[in-house]
Amino acid sequence: QVQLVESGGGLVQAGGSLRLSCAASGSPFSINAMGWYRQAPGKQRELVAAITSGGRTNYADSVKGRFTISRDIAKNTVYLQMNSLKPEDTAVYYCNADTTAPPYDSWGQGTQVTVSS
């Protein structure tokens, strides 16, 4: 089982930047890919960015050019650098790990990101 601990959320003004971190423990060697999801009030949880163990990345159209996902293998940590933040980026952000061992999907506790205008 993989445990995920997130940090870095908070309040930031529009146009500002924030970096989220997600540290994996337990069985980090089983991680195939990691990603960041977000859920705004009244909306479905959506994929923001993902990165595979091979380094391939994928981004939601709404964040392309503004957000960057990266992974530090040695530290078993994935990051989400968020620049040029907009009020519509306000949501709870969740870290996710896709693993090759059960339960195959693991989630962090979520961290609130609030962007003020």
Q: What is the pLDDT of residues 92-107, one digit of tens each?
A: 999 999 998 888 999 9
- The answer to whether residues 56 and 80 touch, using CB atoms and an 8 Å cutoff, is no
User: Which amino acid is present at 55?
Assistant: G
Least confident interval from 9-13, 45-49, 70-74, 109-113: 70-74
Q: DSSP labels for 27-49? A: SGGGEEEEEEEEE-TTS--EEEE
pLDDT digits (tens, 9 = 90+) for 37-84: 999 999 999 999 999 988 999 999 999 999 999 999 889 999 999 999
111 to 7, 35, 46, 63, 73: CA distances (angstroms) = 7, 14, 15, 18, 22
Per-residue confidence (pLDDT) for residue 74, from 0 to 100: 87
CB atoms within 10 A of CB 80: 26
Q: What is the pLDDT of residue 27?
A: 79
Q: Which residues are 75's β-sheet partners?
A: none
Q: How confident is the model at residue 73, as a pLDDT?
A: 86
pLDDT at 101: 86
Which pair of structure tokens corresponds to residue 90?
Answer: 């306000």
How confident is the model at residue 5, as a pLDDT?
A: 96
Residue-level pLDDT at 103: 87
